Chain A
């Protein structure tokens, strides 16, 4: 039986009225994960035994069966800790590492009955926009396996796009959920900074990192966020802000909503087909009764420069902990401690991670701190103020998610700067700490997905979901990729 078109709500009602059993749903998800992984390389670990045991537990317990996500299979990016499973972060330096604890988001998902079927491939330490930086091979885009799925959460995006799971967790530092969601034709969401606990998410750039959610439908994202969001004493950056009923607030009328249109973000560097498709979504909102207001984001164009100073500076500090002493991989036969550190890091880290650690070390080094890091943090303030000002006149800003559709594997690997520019529309949200959501809206002439994103004020997730859901209802994205559960089971 094919569950790949079921929303979480439909799946839950089939499970709770006894039409389907958790074991059956989870087993079919595991079967497709194993089968499609040969083509997609989306999973680094598939936990058949653990997932089936959990499914049986759910089937045999009335209490568990009524939990809000009971029996819903999910996939987790391999930089989020799940006790009992590996956490490689797509890197060799973590070696055989199995974390002794689970992330808070994972504990909340599991308590709600979700069943983790496996850990997904990603760019090493979430650094990348194409998933080609994984030490365990690139993930393939289900729409065209010669192309990248985007990154860094490419495995989670591909798993949802191919119909293996209805939802997956990823992580965002500069767009690593929204960007692959756009290239894979699914919904991808990054919350307000402090909305989801980062406890158990392996740190990359702590002032930017957030766990994000992938789904095929906006309502599925809302269901999952309602479970994982909220204050956590293990993460001091989570904010004490009540968690609303995200699902309950959907399906509202959006007449009179104000959509911000930042004209300057639709200029140079944006692919013509992507521009046309995203401009069409603005018309669609007008037809749904929204008012379109022009907004200005004069500092948005500096976001990549700001991002690559702050993210690399924080990464160089966060990744200092990988030294071969307490966990993970250690290089053999070093003559003393210093050489052990160096050889471990040399053999353990890949090229992009080393490049970013060096860049971060440089911008933080003595004599350069004010010129780079402090300067970047000041421009970050300007970017944030641009958005706060825009949100005085609109409920959400609408932009493209990515400058192009999915590019070819290998196309940008020799040019790091060209790769970084993929995040030009997404990394503003991480810098400003605001939420954003990618919604698929069209296929290009080559048959590749195009998405648009909505960005909202801090804690405006209910508004973003309502706006995204209204578009989705009026213009459902029904195309499915070539590599998909439905075609694999024929």
Chain B
């Protein structure tokens, strides 16, 4: 099923992106063309193939990422807030939610 402008509008909403009418007209055919291109994968029978999730190398998969459950030094409040656009009394301040 070809992608329509209303699909793109919905996807943009899901992705928290605001797009203009002009962008909508540009993106729709481009994304439709890319989706058509990637659908060439449907020609392959992959019913018996495991998806590649997890480690890409056997050595990577064998490497354990566990460590002792002990507190480690971290950034700290001051540094963590240092780059915030609107910090206030030790918090990240944002516009009203409701």
Contacts and interface: CB of A to CB of B under 8 A. Distances in A.
A100 B83 contact: yes
Contact of B46 (A324, A341, A378): A378
Interface in B49-98: 49-53, 55-60, 62-65, 67, 75, 79-80, 82-86, 92, 94-98
A361 interface: yes
B59 A345 contact: no
Nearest to A309: B38
Nearest to B82: A100
A389 to B, nearest CB: 14
Interface string A348-391: 01010011011101110100000010111111111010000000
Contact of A100 (B51, B55, B79): B79
B53 to A, nearest CB: 6
A3 B14 CA distance: 52
* A192, A359, A374: most-surrounded residue (chain B CB, <10 A): A359
B21 interface: no
B27 A355 contact: yes
A432 B31 contact: no
A365 to B, nearest CB: 7
Nearest to A98: B83
Interface in A428-445: 431-433
B41 A459 contact: no
Contacts of B11: 358, 361-362, 365
Nearest to A322: B16
Interface in A3-22: none
A417 interface: yes
Contacts of A362: 3, 7, 11, 31, 35
Contact count band on B: 35 or more
A326 B3 CA distance: 34
Interface in B10-51: 11-12, 14-19, 23, 26-27, 30-31, 33-35, 37-42, 44, 46, 49-51
Contacts of A240: 59, 62-64
B59 A336 contact: no
B51 A378 contact: yes
B59 A354 contact: no
Secondary structure class of chain B's binding surface, majority of residues: loop
A342 B15 CA distance: 9
A199 interface: no
Interface residues of A, number: 76
Given A308-B38, A379-B41, A380-B51, A325 B94 contact: yes
Nearest to B15: A361
A306 B59 contact: no
Given A324-B85, A365-B11, A357 B17 contact: yes
Nearest to B50: A381
Contact of A417 (B15, B34, B39, B49): B34
Contacts of A349: 17
A479 interface: no
A24 to B, nearest CB: 36
Contacts of A343: 18
A228 B55 CA distance: 21
A372 B85 contact: no
8 contacts: A98-B83, A194-B60, A239-B60, A306-B41, A327-B85, A329-B85, A345-B15, A417-B30
4 cross-chain pairs, A with B, having the tightest CB-CB distances, nearest first:
A433-B56, A377-B51, A236-B65, A327-B83
Interface of A: 95, 97-98, 100-101, 192-194, 207, 231, 233, 236-241, 299, 302, 304-306, 308-309, 316, 320, 323-330, 334-343, 345-346, 349, 351, 354-355, 357-359, 361-363, 365, 372, 374-382, 384, 416-417, 420, 431-433, 458-459
